Structure 1
Amino acid sequence: MKNKKKIIVIIVSSILGLLLIAISGFFIFRDQLLTQAIAKTTSHLDQKYDSKLLIGKVEFTNFNGIRLTNISLKPRAADTLFDIDNMETSINFWRLFTGDIQLGTLKINNGYVQLTKKGNIKNFAAFLKKDSTAVQSDNKKNYADFAYRIITTALNLVPTDMKIENLKFKLDDNGKKATIDIKKLILANSQMETAINVKTNTFTQRWKIKGYADPRNKKADLQFFNRDTGAIKVPYFDERYNLISSFDSIRLNIKNIDKSGGQLHIDGFTSIANLKVNHPKIASKDVLIKKARFDYRFLLGANSIAIDSSSTAQFNQIKFRPYLSVDTEEDTIYKLKVVIPRMKAKHFINSLPDGLFTNFQGMQALGNFDYKLNFQFNKNKPDELVFDSNINKENLKIIKYGEANLNKLNGEFIYRAIIDNVLQRPILVGNANPNYTPMSAISPYLKKCVLTTEDPSFFSHHGFINEAFKQSIAKNIKTKKFSRGASTISMQLIKNVFLTREKTLSRKLEEILLVYILENNRIVSKERMLEVYFNIIEWGPNVYGIGEASQFYFQKQPSQLTFNECLYLARIIPSPKKFMYQFNAEGSLKESAAQQEHFLTNIMLKRGLLASDDTLYKSLPLYISGPARSYLRIKVQDSIPKDSLNSVNEFNF
């Protein structure tokens, strides 16, 4: 027993002795080791990144403290990346034995870091290139391990005590400039205090960040606000992306970063006050969200990344629970779930962001509702897309309309199309207009043809077709662009009567909500909706409604239109101003147009919308006899005798 204790004492003494020798050796030769480390780093930057690192002087200030002066990094063919007069830092010596680099303190005085782009030359381009010598591995990346390693390494490089004075971060993107000048940044006893000046080509401001930051325990609670009056403006994005945005304050709270059971958990919340955004793709005016907060829980596993369903988001009075995940264990599967718990309809309407839903301003509603969305997309099986959207209503009722008074569809009103932001001539939707045509005076063929081409389930759906949405989303994802829509006649009607044609997020969201209200509150009958639709849609250059269209193309009343003519009118609805390209130099339908008509006719026959007798007229050619004929590029004289045309016009179906 005594021998064992003696052996343990000898082993421990030997280890301590070796450690003492190593420490002594490091202390004795530390200047040489530091010189070698700097030389190695300088050589690496030179050979791999074609950049020159210069250091005026480097020295140890104590056992683990280093002071550097006149440090700069300059790519040979571009602007200097950084230039700092003085920097002092200390490294946790004991952490070096575990392979970690952990900064203890940091002091920086006077200097700048800059990113520039002049023409196509970027001073940071070399550092973004992928390493062509890196060995490619077929092994899947463990998201939890990778993220935890990155976060830990980054936080270890954040010193527990920091003092920065007069350090500028400069950005110059071909004249689009922004400078963030840190006059003072102090981190002491886990408390942060800053004074920051910001200057761009369009504004100058003073910012402040203060709060709690503990990088070693992976916790923080920081607030970001303006030292002057007014909101904080976001720099650079206004010039670069035409995105003008501002906010009163932002708060970022990180409560916990922990890895256990093979999962990485990141918990906390972030909030923002009076976020204002202006971009032509979002809306035509400023969009304001007065209050927003996101209580998050990120979960990272070996093969998955997710925002957990225990997370909650809030926009004004609208609260919902989001779930978003990407799973790559077998296939790459994206999932999105949104749950809005039961809430008052009036709170929902009052919480819609200002500027994003202008047609809802002033609207009032009674009742409650809750909502659930379930979306799932398999990258390798795109046709198996899941899209379920469900709303449960409880005594939901609109008691006052906003700017978009949907009830006006039941009476006479003036319709004015907007094309390229220009109001077109007024069209009276009512009997006082001689071209207005009620459904009873329109050829039944037109109704069948238009419903076939535009919206086959118009009389059975409630404004939206889930299957069409699914197919549209799947195709848009596969093509990586908005190549297919899922617009119903209800949506087209709302878009034409109440909205502009601008392609903005605001218009699309308003369209969806207005269609839902129109279809689910029985404001207008389906027959009336279709009648208004036929009387306002564009059917050619400055041609609106079926009354004008039947005269423009065929010199007929809508009740006299044949099946051929109705099928033609239905087909040109998507691009009415390009109708002339349907015809060849002889004034006949091109082969591609004829094939499309044949395809649609077969569909209508299969659906029982037509009898075989209805298609007898197909043997006669389509003839444009009205003013539209002047738009056709016909090289020869009309081949159909006038008498024949007269007999055709008298033949009604």
Structure 2
Amino acid sequence: MRTKKQWFFLILKIIIVLVILALSGIYFFRDTLLQQALEKAKNKFDQQYNANFIVEKAKFIGTTSVELENIHLIPQQADTLLSVEKIRTEVSLLQLLTGEVQLKNLEMRNGFIQLVKNENGRNFDAFLKKENTKETTNEKRNYAKLVNRILTQILNLIPSEMNLENLSLRIDDQGKKVNFHMNNLSLINHQLATKIDVKTNTLNQKWNINGFANPREKRADLLFTSADTSKIQIPYIDEKFGLKSSFNKIRLKLDNLEMSFGKLHLDGVASIENFTINHPKIAKKDVVLQNAQFDYRFLLGSDFISIDSTSSAQLNKIKIKPYLEYNTEEDTIYKLKLNIENMKAQDFITSLPEGLFTHFTGMEAEGSFDYHLDFVFNKNKPNQLVFDSKLNKRNLRIVKYGEANLEKLNAEFTYRAIENGVPQRPVFVGASNPYFTPLELISPYLKHAVLTNEDPSFMRHRGFISEAFKQSIVKNIRTKKFARGASTISMQLVKNVFLTREKTLSRKLEEILLVYILENNRIASKERMLEVYFNVIEWGPNVYGIGEAAEFYFQKKPIDLTLTECLYLASIVPKPKKFMWQFDSEGNQKSYAQKNQRFIKNLMLRRGLIIPDDTIGQSIPIHISGRARSFLKLKIVQDTIAIDSLDILEPEFIN
């Protein structure tokens, strides 16, 4: 009779024999299993993606190496998506059984992937379709688990060592072609090196990619540079979107990718040198970021994605501590915090991207400042928006102005509006211009009406209206476009006198900074700013300043305008060139225009800017009597002499 010890060893021997038999079976039938796996993949591509998956030869070499020859993936009635002459890799049989496949070595040669879009559609559309699932669930998406699973699967497919030869990625978007070609890519002992030939319809260049890559430990440090002395130009997007961009080098570093306590940590560094971008919506010239670096700390949980506050960003000498969060725990909440610790004002000015702030070129400043922004937007409670922006100054002052010399507001100067890049006729802002009107010679009705309609708190604020700015943000987020601005008279003045009317990111950023400098350094009084504003803004086609406007519409001086006429002039400030659409074919104001002017008048009454007695004898509609009348779309008979009176004309005028 066997003892317990003997039974134990007997069972252990049986288990070992069974494992050996199982492994032997897998080994001897491994090619059959491989063919079955390929057949399964072929059926899946055929049924789910309507594509032919072809492998002409497939076999095991030894116990772990798999070799495939002449692999093709061809969507039905579309261009070939993938074609490779030979692939050889090592996989663990045990991993094949468990499904956790990690490629060890990979050799690949003579092949391409091509993405094609033409009149027949795209050859990769079928692979972008979402799978239809009948099952529904109320379980919330776990962002940490989802991202960790995706990144882990991607990293597992990157072999620990590889050698790729003569491979290309081709893109053909309606004739816009890009070809990325690698003669050789090697990853040996975690060191990656390759050269990429890049060709487009208009571009031919060579890139280098070098560095450290360890997909098993989830770490990498890669450097992208040009193979010659030129900068790397980013292809395709220039032809597709008119966006030209280039850089000297980019560094991408991954230090840590770890899942712990239900949270995913993703740490590393990204930097770029001499990044240049050009697009008409950004600026009129090249915008250059000399040095930018982002030390990132991404943190993902079950119901949030965030850039942790320990992250830091640096643009030249400007150092920013950002915090960004998207949270769905209860409501959908977006959070943004930006902190710039105390820095010299001159360092800030010299660190601004070249070409983005051209009017600051040559500006000099003394002192220092720190800045803090706190932004919170609750998608389900938009009216609870938090927007707290604070700038703390320390002996901050401008000692030399750049191209935009704000001091000129206090003296006489020549103003020229610029429309579509074309300077308009000069308008002299000073006493020698007969149309120039000092503030005290402008009807108080007009001052109150324009301020009521454009910027009621102008005399009190410092360039910006916080509440209006908040409401603008809320509406723009809701509509997913810039549907509403928050422009003040200060901003309109800076835009008119110092900037252009171009709708670019550069102009808007310059406008914000110049307004802040103008208002917070008390460069010009509010009264002088308002006086200049009334004398330079456009009031109609080729009509600049209130002196010209009063004559153009009513053949009057600005001081003699009635309340009704002032309400009308205030109503056309937003769109002065379209004033004629307020009138019908008989020269009378349309009802919507009258309603708008009554609204402005009622606001003025409620705020005590006018009293009921001011409205006595003030009738609507108004009568346009000046040169502006020729712009109205009037009936021909309206302003002609009655046919019955033609007999009083001299014979030579009647033919």
Determine if the TM-score, normalized by the shorter chain, exceeds 0.5.
Answer: yes
Q: What is the CA–CA distance in structure 1 between the aligned matches of 2:134 and 2:27, rounded to whole Å?
A: 36
Maintained 8 Å contact 1:160/1:190: yes
SS of residue paired to 2:294: strand
Shift of 1:633: 2.2
- Aligned-partner SS, 1:136: coil
Matching residue of 1:43: 43
Corresponding letter in the other structure for 1:40 = K
In structure 2, the residue matched to 1:151 is: 151
Residue aligning to 2:643: none
> Aligned residue for 2:314?
314
What's 1:280 paired with?
280
Shift of 1:619: 3.1
Secondary structure of the residue aligned to 1:383 is helix
- Residues 89, 565 of structure 1: CA spacing in aligned structure 2 closer, same or farther, 3 A cutoff? same
How do 1:384-463 and structure 2 match up within 5 A? 384-463=384-463
Tell me how far apart the structure 2 counterparts of residues 283 and 81 of structure 1 sit (CA, whole Å): 38
Give how far 1:59 is off.
1.2
Bigger shift: 24-33 or 611-620?
611-620
Post-superposition Cα deviations, 1:524-575, rounded to whole Å, max 9, x if no partner, equal 1100000000000000010000000000000000000111111110110011
Give yes or no for the alignment of 1:214 onto 2:214.
yes
Per-residue CA deviation, residues 66-97 of structure 1 (Å, 9 max, x unaligned), is 11111111111110001111110111333334
- Percent of paired sites with the same residue: 58
Alignment of 1:135-214 (within 5 A): 135-214=135-214
For these two proteins, the number of residue pairs brought into alignment is 638
The residue number in structure 1 matching 2:645 is none
Question: Residues of 1 paired with 2:277 and 2:120: CA distance?
Answer: 30
Alpha-carbon distance between aligned partners in 1 of 2:575 and 2:146, rounded to the nearest angstrom: 52
Change (3 A) 1:440 1:184: same
Asked whether the 8 Å contact 2:594–2:620 carries over to 1, the reply is no
- Structure 2 equivalent of residue 535 of structure 1: 535
Contact 1:81 1:114 in 2 (8 A): yes
Partner of 1:132: 132
Where 1:472 maps in the other structure, the secondary structure is helix
1:587 aligned counterpart, secondary structure: coil
- CA-to-aligned-CA distance 1:258-315 (integer Å, 9 cap, x gap): 1111110001101111000011111110000000000000000000000001100001
Provide the residue aligned with 2:304 in structure 1.
Answer: 304
Q: Distance between the aligned counterparts of 1:42 and 1:172, measured in 2?
A: 26
**In structure 2, distance between residues paired with 1:545 and 1:617:** 27
1:362 alignment counterpart: 362
Contact in 2 for aligned 1:563/1:617 (Cα 8 Å): no
User: Structure 1 residues 317-326 or 8-17, which shifts more?
Assistant: 8-17
Deviation at 1:500, TM superposition (A): 1.1
How many angstroms apart in 2 are the aligned matches of 1:338 and 1:584? 52
The separation in 2 between residues aligned to 1:8 and 1:142, in whole angstroms, is 45
Q: Give how far 1:10 is off.
A: 4.8
Counterpart of 1:507, as a letter, is: R
Are residue 554 (structure 1) and residue 554 (structure 2) matched? yes
Shift, 1:3, TM fit: 6.0
| Post-superposition CA distance 1:51-77 (Å, at most 9, x none) | 111112111111011111111111111
Secondary structure (helix, strand or coil) at the match of 2:62 reads coil
Per-residue deviation, 1:131? 1.1
Confirm or deny that 1:62 pairs with 2:28.
no
Q: Is the 8 A contact 2:300 2:306 kept in 1?
A: yes
Deviations 1:489-532 (A, max 9, x none): 00000001111111111011000000000000111110000000
Q: Which amino acid aligns with 2:559?
A: S
Find the counterpart in structure 1 of residue 245 from structure 2: 245
Q: CA deviation at 1:616?
A: 1.2
Using the TM superposition, give the Cα deviation of residue 634 of structure 1 relative to its aligned residue in structure 2, in angstroms.
2.8
TM-score normalised by length of structure 1: 0.96
RMSD between superposed Cα atoms in Å: 1.5
Whether the 8 Å contact between 2:562 and 2:618 is mirrored in structure 1 is no
Q: For 1:15-164, list aligned pairs within 5 A.
A: 15-133=15-133, 135-164=135-164
Instruction: Tell me if structure 2 keeps the 8 A contact 1:564–1:617.
Output: no
Indicate if the aligned counterparts of 1:495 and 1:511 stay in contact, CA closer than 8 A.
yes
Partner Cα separation in structure 2 for residue 463 and residue 390 of structure 1: 14
Per the TM alignment, residue 18 of structure 1 is displaced from its structure 2 partner at its CA by 3.0
Distance 1:68 1:591 in 2: 78
The whole-number CA distance in structure 1 between the counterparts of 2:338 and 2:373 is: 5
Change (3 A) 1:269 1:12: farther
Residue 517 in structure 1 maps to residue 517 in structure 2: yes
> In the aligned structure 1, how far is the partner of 2:286 from the partner of 2:13?
72
- Following superposition, the deviation at residue 637 of structure 1 comes to 4.1
Shift of 1:621: 3.6
Supply the distance in 2 between the matched residues of 1:333 and 1:217 (Cα, whole angstroms).
34
- Correspondence for 1:326: 326
Aligned to 1:351: 351
User: 1:305 is paired with a residue of what secondary structure?
Assistant: strand
Match for residue 650 of structure 1?
A: none
Indicate the larger mover: 376-385 or 178-187: 376-385
Confirm or deny: 8 A CA contact 1:338 1:374 kept in the other structure.
yes
Deviation, 1:457, is 0.4
